Structure 1
Amino acid sequence: MSQHSPSPTRGAPPARTPRRRGRLGPLPWIAPAVLLILFVVLWPVYEMVRTSFLRISTSGFVRGSAGLDKYRKLFGETDLGHVLLATVLWTVAVVGLTMLLSLGLAQLFDQRFPGRRFARWALIAPWAASVLMTAIGFRWMLDRTAGVLNTAMTNLGLIDGPRDWLGDPSTAWPWMVGVAVFVSLPFTTYTLLAGLQTVPAEVSEAAKVDGASAWQAYRRITLPLLRPAFLVGLVINLINVFNSFPVIWGMTQGGPSSDTATSTVFMYQLKATDIGESASMSVVNFALVVLLVLLFLKVSRWNREES
């Protein structure tokens, strides 16, 4: 009896396809972050833009479309030019002083000296406290009738009588800049300190052996290597200070009138009379922040590797 060979299978099973999870790649892992961005960032931006084209009563009821009327009204505000100029000067002053002082503090804390750990802990205090609480504390310190500063300066004979430090824009602005720098120093200093600690000590020592002075080694070696951390601190400070609200609102509420208001505070002031106009100011603010960051990244050549 002849032996029959096994008949070939007619329908061989197809090659196993990759699992669906594999086809999705990293999407399951980044999906929560994407959803968070959609609902926390993009959705409020959409609502902000939509509200700027509506007529809304102060009680919150929509009265219909306003078209571009709210933008026309905004750009017709007599205080807008002053507020925008004040915002630019405020941002430049606070960010410039913060970066300069933080660079010096980071360099100091990178050295070994007695009490360094305590000094580092002390620097965290303005960061740990609420910014609004800090601003209100300084406001009471500068109060005309019950402020500690007026009492001390009067007793020392430095001033003839109590002064309204926050009621006059010429004295209110320097104090607000000082408080803003005070609360911005911890984060920026620690950012630069982290960058300094990644700079190899051997590189600076080799430069000194080759005859470079300490300043030349710092300027030509340390600062270029510190550039990534410096740019991170600078960009974050630009955004935070430009959008700063608690310091100014806690100390002067933008007054008198809008003399000490930045664009963010001015936006909040407009909310009391016209929500649509306030939303249009928010859109302008958002556009200015995006433009500011893009211009800065282009000027600093963030994405260009140094040769």
Structure 2
Amino acid sequence: MPISSQYFSYTIFLLILQLLLPTILYASNDCMYTSIIAFGNSLTDTGNLKNIDSVFNITTPQYFFPPYGETFFHKPTGRCSDGRLIIDFLDCKLKIRHSLFLVGEIGGNDYSMELVAGKSIKQVKSFVPLVIDKITTTVKKLIELGGKIFVVPNLLPIECTPLALTLFKSSDAKMYDNTTGCLISIKKLEEYHNQLLQRELHKIRVNFPKVNVIYADYYNAALQLYRSPTQFGFVQPLRACCGGGGPYNYNPSALCGERSSTVCAHPNRFVNWDEIHLTEAAYRMIYKSVFKGSYSIPRFSSLCPAIAS
């Protein structure tokens, strides 16, 4: 089967599942929306995976145990971070009369799992058009069902995750971006995904001029945290707060949440929470950049002025 048989199918399965069991969040500020219906993976999931685990026998046990959730909820909620996600911060700012569809981030799991499985960058790059097609097809079908407002994020920087940095560690300095320390080869893969996504979303805007389709630049919003960590209050931006040791605090034999792992004392000073997810502090900064700042096309705040306050 193409594109990782089980992994790609799992991503699409979650997308369909969340259509049936949407993450609908309510808020209390002056804006035009009454709910957020979110589609995505562990960067968006506020607990659905935990709720459906017993029904579909899908288990990712480390996410269901401490120290996950320690910063804000003080207990695990099924969120893959120490606290809130980007969608949680967005929820806190909106009051809606129509649904806002957050479609993504989608694709990161497919690419990273294929790379871990041993596929080359070239092989994984060939999957990108298929992933983009699934994203845009979903948006179009939701438009046909009456959707009017869509936020479609691009990828977060996989090349800066402890997982990628550990698995593809190299002694060749040319393999790393000298401004971030992240892997250049994976960066090029993500840039291709993000450029293709932006191009296809533009086509949707042209074909559906009465629908608002916002390209959320999670990638560059996050990249600034790796480029200038001290400016945002972070230290050791490439190292995981929670993990099992090693240069980037990632050890596949001692994942975050397992007894053999350790957790940092101050998660708010770290960008990376575990081997692939970010901390609440990092998600907060990305949220501000995308939904209150200039890291979206068009600016989200232009559609909802209350969000900028």
- TM above 0.5, yes or no, is no
Hey, which of these two has a bigger chunk of strand by percent? 2
Larger RCO (CA within 8 A; separation ≥ 6): 1
Using structure 1 for the length normalisation, give the TM-score. Answer: 0.30
TM-score by length of 2: 0.30
The structure where helix makes up a greater share of residues is 1
